Structure 1
Amino acid sequence: MPTVHDTHIQNRFLVHPNHANSNGVLHGGNLMKWLDEVGGMAAMRFAGETCVTAQINSLAFERPIQIGDTALVEAYVYDAGQTSVHVALRAQRENPRTGETEKTTESSFTFVAIDDDGSPVPVPDLSVETDEGERLRQRALEADY
């Protein structure tokens, strides 16, 4: 049975000028793509199956990420249904020179596990075996998604 900790993934994306919008900061669509990719990886790690995006439950852009900063994207599974996987996502602006971070975005996506024919398949139960896993799960459940 997969645990919250097993599904926890962090990835970094350096923000280049081609990722920017007309305001000179990271385009929200690029960040959404990165959230979807990292969230999908967490869902697939949990389900052991291909997972596709079913729903963006919430997405709150709190502050921008500047060109030259790193977008630090964190994802983990916090709940599951019969074929669905609920993934909490958070993005932070990270200064690549100092490592200083600041939360910029919080989100929740739902993915569905599918077989080779594209039909939904069952997913396992989620296990929480560590204090850190429980803290992450509670953070997601208490968030205003």
Structure 2
Amino acid sequence: MTTLSETRIENRYRVQPNHANNYESLHGGTLMKWMDEVGAMAAMRFAGESCVTAGVTELDFQQPIPIGETARIEAYAYDAGRTSVRVRIRAWRENPRTGEAALTTEASFTFIAIDADGSPVAVPDVTVETDEERDLRDVARDAEH
């Protein structure tokens, strides 16, 4: 069984002018795309199958990520249904020179595991073994309400 910690994926993207909106910060749609990609990787690591996006419970933009900074995105699977995987995704703005970071965006995505024919397939239960994993799961579940 895969533990919550084993599903954690983190990726960084440098925000370039072609990623920006009229306010010289990362376009929200671009950030959503990057979050979806990292979230899908966490879901696939958990399910052991390809996964497709089924929904987004909430997506809260708290502050912008300006051109020249880095978008750091973290995702982990925290809950599962019969064929679905719930993934918590968070993004930070990060100064590439100092590493100073601030949380900018939080979301929960639902992915469906599919087989080679595109049909939904069963997923295992999320295994939580440590206090840190319990805390991560609880924070993700609480954010849904």
- Return the TM-score normalized by structure 2: 0.98
User: Does the 8 Å CA contact 2:108/2:144 hold for their aligned counterparts?
Assistant: no
* Unaligned stretches of 5+ residues in structure 1: none
What is residue 37 of structure 1 aligned with on the other side? 37
Is it true that 1:138 corresponds to 2:103 in the alignment? no
- 1:40 match: secondary structure: helix
Cα distance between partner residues in 2 of 1:113 and 1:144: 21
Q: Please, which runs of 5 or more residues in structure 2 have no aligned partner?
A: none
What SS does the aligned partner of 2:64 have? Answer: coil
1:23 matched to which residue of 2?
A: 23
8 Å contact from structure 2 (residues 88, 107) kept in 1? yes
Task: Name the aligned partner's letter for residue 41 of structure 2.
Answer: M
Q: Which residue of 2 aligns with 1:100?
A: 100
Runs of 4+ in 1 over 3 A off after TM superposition: none
User: For the residues of structure 2 that align with 1:109 and 1:80, how far apart are their CA atoms?
Assistant: 12
The RMSD of aligned alpha carbons is: 0.8
How much has 1:142 moved relative to structure 2? Answer: 1.2
Aligned to 2:84: 84
Hey, what's the Cα distance between the residues in 2 that align with 1:128 and 1:2?
A: 9
In structure 1, distance between residues paired with 2:96 and 2:131: 29
Residue 59 (structure 1) aligns with: 59
